[in-house]
Chain A
Amino acid sequence: MKNSLKILFVIILAIFISGCLESKKTPEASEPINLVKMSGQEMVQRLGTGEIAGFIMWEPYPAIAVTKGYGKDLIFSGKIWAEHPCCVVAYDDDWYKKTNNSDEILKRMALVQLRSVEYINNAKQSDSPDHAQLINYTMQFGGMTDPVAANLSLADVEFVYNTNVADTTTFIQRIQDFKIFDMAKWNQSGYKNASDYANSLVTNNYVDWAVNNKDENLSKLSLKEPVNIRYAYLVNDIHELPFYVGWQKGYYKDLGINIVLAEGAPFQNGAFEMQNGFKANTVDVGSLGIPPVIIHRINSNDFSKDDAGVGVIAGMNNEGSVIVVANNITSIKDLKGKTVGFPGPGTIQHVLFLMEAEKEGLTVSY
């Protein structure tokens, strides 16, 4: 009895002392910025109430926070890394192998992306006849009620259809630097290095076909038999607006593709889409940030089956995330020791924030 009591007492004391010592170590060493995971709506609300000093998030949340007067833009993600890739269009490997005409479908998915991006880039101009319609699409997709916020949210997003293997390689390297990969899984993957992985992940064939056929009448390129595609995307993410435009304007339908919303879609973040969508075989094609694709194709993969195998066929956007801060913050250094919202570990915003912190000699806890 006495011995058991002593042992338990020692165990609890050891946990307390080590926890106490460890906790004290952190601020003394570097006073980190505390990144705390939350949804975009929470970020806006908590910035408004002063509970957080800032957040890094995809549009439209920065635009919403700024138009409500809760904070100001501090750093656009393009300043952290110019032209950085962000969301992409990806397909599920299992679906690809099971479907006879998957290549033909993917070519047309890339073409829709191209057409939608061209439409958005033209309609972004305020004097365009399509501008009002684009703002409506933006408000519907982004869950917004304020056209000013909708307009603002489009300003810093560069919509694209190309993929960039070199930038993808850089992203993979950064994810390696930040030790986000499960090393046992990385070793199982068999990739020699970041470049090898990027080359196996990204293919430009479909975009090349789309570019060659971009001026064709869509109905002429329609599939012989219409197909259903279970599509997934991220909730209220303006980066993925080209998907919504293509869907609303009937581009997919014209090409013989029926978009069916995948089970669980729209997802809260890319990690969920990878784990509960692509890995669970409930998503055929989807749009999401490239880091979750990179991370979960390794960490969540059962390599004996390659069940989280995905391929990237087109870009969605470059840049388009913002570090928004309370009005009294003037530099990222002011965030030391404060709480900053982010959409979750392994997201593009997480990686970008780490890059900016590294550049400024700051540390981040998450």
Chain B
Amino acid sequence: MKIQPGKKGLIINLLSLVVFALLWQLLVILARKDSFNIPFIRLRDIPTPVETWVALVGSMFIQLHGPGFTYGIVNHVYASLQRVIEGGIIAFIVGVPVGIGVGYSKLIGNLFNPLIEIVRNMPPMAWIPLSIFIFVSGGSIFIVFIGVIFPIILNTVQGVKSTDPRLIDAARTLGASESMIVKKVIIPSAFPSIMTGLRIGLGVGWMAIVAAEMVIRSPVGLGYFIWNMGDLGRYSEMVAGMIVIGVIGYIMNISILLLQRRFIKWGA
């Protein structure tokens, strides 16, 4: 995946966003002037980019109105990111050993594969009702865990299986034990694939956390924020929250990709 667009590419990237924002502004303004009408869509009710920007700036930090606090978007981002990171770390700790075991040992593979194949097809959102009942707190982290763990397991398995067998044979010939082979050959070889799994998993986890926060009750989190703003009819803030979700997801993806390129030279 190419992540460095170059100067020209970067200008085109930025230009496409500006054109999108202008088009969005224009369409909403024209809809509000009744210049056109799309049946079943209340386009005129969508806040314009300018209104969204004003709302974003205005709701960035904690505000106190009378006795009521409203958390700022930074608090919501922080809370959601914290949950994703916690869920991601747990998924990483559990997923990588399972993936290595399944990929390296036929017996472990046969033991775990049916369960993995069934459970990975249950979307994280399907776990939300159950997590409400079984977790007194931390249900959202569990949803992230479910979202992150399967991409990690599957990519780890793939990474382990695609290890060059000549490297394993060479290590054996040199007298390496099985645990040494796993530590010194299999894990380094599979690491780029594991990181890809983590990147994909965190993307899924980020989408899952927003959905989970809409349902699993917590006073802070981006999903909760956009739901609350919708309830109050504060649509500009709601759309601002949606855009923040997209931007953070994008930054997370690119960050891991860049880290991968920076530190794992052999898999780049």
Residues of A within 8 A of B (CB): 1, 4-5, 8-9, 11-12, 15-16, 18-20, 22-23, 25-26, 30, 32, 34-38, 42, 49-51, 177-180, 182, 184-185, 269, 271, 274-275, 295-296, 298-300, 302, 304, 339, 341, 344-346, 354, 357-358, 362-366
Contacts and interface: CB of A to CB of B under 8 A. Distances in A.
A189 to B, nearest CB: 13
B217 interface: yes
A15 B219 contact: no
B45 A302 contact: yes
Interface in B46-91: 51, 61-72, 74-75, 77-79, 81
Contact of A8 (B136, B218, B255): B255
Contacts of A12: 251, 255
B66 A19 contact: no
Given A32-B69, A365-B70, 13 more contacts: A12-B251, A15-B74, A20-B78, A30-B69, A34-B219, A269-B231, A295-B233, A346-B233, A363-B69, A364-B67, A366-B68, A366-B70, A366-B228
B262 interface: yes
A147 B242 CA distance: 46
Contacts of A299: 232-235
Contacts of B255: 5, 8-9, 12
Nearest to A183: B58
17 contacts: A5-B258, A19-B77, A22-B71, A22-B74, A23-B79, A26-B75, A37-B224, A38-B217, A178-B68, A180-B232, A184-B51, A271-B233, A302-B45, A346-B231, A346-B232, A366-B69, A366-B70
Interface residues of B, number: 48
Contacts of B136: 49-51
A1 B251 contact: no
| Top 6 closest pairs, chain A to chain B, by CB | A19-B78, A299-B233, A179-B65, A300-B233, A365-B69, A357-B67
Nearest to A174: B66
A11 B81 CA distance: 13
Residue among A5, A35, A50, A341 facing the most chain B CB atoms (10 A cut-off): A5
Contacts of A15: 74, 77-78, 81, 248
Contacts of A180: 232
B120 interface: no
B44 interface: yes
A304 B32 contact: yes
Interface in B207-264: 217-220, 224, 227-228, 231-236, 248, 251, 254-255, 258-259, 261-262
A25 B77 contact: no
Contacts of A19: 74-75, 77-79, 81
A365 B78 contact: no
Contacts of B218: 36
B4 interface: yes
B264 to A, nearest CB: 14
Contacts of B79: 19, 23
Nearest to A11: B251
